[in-house]
Amino acid sequence: MSADFYDPNKKSSGGPTTSSAGGPAASAEPAPPPIPPPAGAPAYPVQPPLPPVADGNLEPLRIPTAPQGEGAAQDRVRIGLWGAPRSGKTTYLAALPIAAMQGRRHSPHNWLISGMTPEANNFLGDSVSQLAVRRVFPQATVGIQNMSWAFQGEVAPSGMMRHRTQQVSFVLEIQDASGEVFKRDHPQHQGIVDQLARAQGLIYLFDPLGDAQELTESLTFFYSTLNELSTRIRDMGGHYRGRLPHHVSVCVAKFDHPDVFRPSVEAGWVTQDTVGSQLPRVPAQLSERFFQWMCDDFRGSNARLVRDGLANFFHPDRISYYATSAIGFRLNPQHVFDYRNYVNEEIVDGVRRICTSPEPINVLEPLTDLEHNIRTARAGRKGWRR
């Protein structure tokens, strides 16, 4: 006759009884020793004690979310950053947190930017340290770097509710790619085209200085990407009224550089604020014509093809134009612009350095305007469906 199998769930007749309250009943006799398993039962090894808790009594960490409880996939805004090598894409992103902090001095809007990941927060922190404290330019990006930032803003709406501020929050997914990636024969070229195809908005940095050089000429890194992007959107069935569906911010970069700024002043495109730091700028109502002039008269035939390509592939009502500077102009000790000494870059021991604290111009606006236009287009589609 074989031995009975050990059943760990079977109560022993000699074990302790329980009270009506669920606890062990009082007994004058001590509890009997545990009954060893009968012969043939599996022997389980003794488990080691659990390791001590490393984080003490800290609360469990939840996943990062956007402010005000948003951040679902449909509320995220994907923005692609596009430009030739040395057009200033990384410096543009690095200037965003500074522009946000200075925003209340130049507009009625207020924006808070925070990273959705530790890596994104590190980028923001390093950017402020490099530009504002150490006053050096960030290293150019190698390959493709993806980041997610949460934006929380208080904006002044237009229309009948103009006296009331509006709370806006969104998550921005943006990629910073080296300019070489936009060249057709680069091994990561298909990857960047995929990312641009998934984006709802594009920031295109046009560098008037680099465009004059063969290795960084805008058209070299522009048309092949634009053509493949259109093919990808066509295969996805995503064209909008026969053109690409993206909203686009076209930024004429390095507006502060004397080789760009001085000709713009002499051609009559620049006005100057009369209050605060009295910063120069191209008025918003002239920015599209300023870009046309930059391509027609300042740069040349290849730049005109870039301009024509943008007008051909994107709807004109979805394109906005800006004269942009990531570091702004040098200001005098009274923090006021002086046309006699406005260059904010110098060479110290062979290293490019920023002379005074950066005052970014039209860095945040191309991004927040894109988000507003995308959000408005989404609301329009929902209203049409109803």
Contact 242, 315 (CB under 8 A): no
**Which residues, including other chains, have CB under 8 Å from residue 26's CB and lie 6 or more apart?**
19
Calculate mean pLDDT across residues 107-130.
90
- Average per-residue pLDDT in the chain? 81
Give the predicted TM-score (pTM) of the model: 0.77
Total domains in the chain come to 1
Residues β-bridged to residue 95: none
pLDDT at 236 over 70: yes
Q: Is 34 domain-assigned?
A: no
Residue 36: what pLDDT?
65
Q: Which domain holds residue 179?
A: 74-381
The encoded tokens of residue 352 equal 């490019």
Q: Is 19 domain-assigned?
A: no
Calculate mean pLDDT across residues 53-76.
60
d(Cα 174, Cα 147) in Å, to the nearest integer?
6
The larger pLDDT score, comparing residue 129 to residue 185, is at: 129
Q: Is 105 domain-assigned?
A: yes
Sorting pLDDT into bands at 50, 70 and 90, what band is 257?
Answer: very high
Sorting pLDDT into bands at 50, 70 and 90, what band is 384?
Answer: very low
Q: Is 3 domain-assigned?
A: no
Residue 297: give its domain's CATH number: 3.40.50.300
Q: Is 182 domain-assigned?
A: yes
Q: Is 21 domain-assigned?
A: no
Which region, left, alpha or beta, applies to residue 362 given φ > 0 means left and ψ of -120 to 50 means alpha? left
Reduce the DSSP state of residue 319 to 3 states and report it. strand
Residue 353: what pLDDT?
94
Q: Is 55 domain-assigned?
A: no
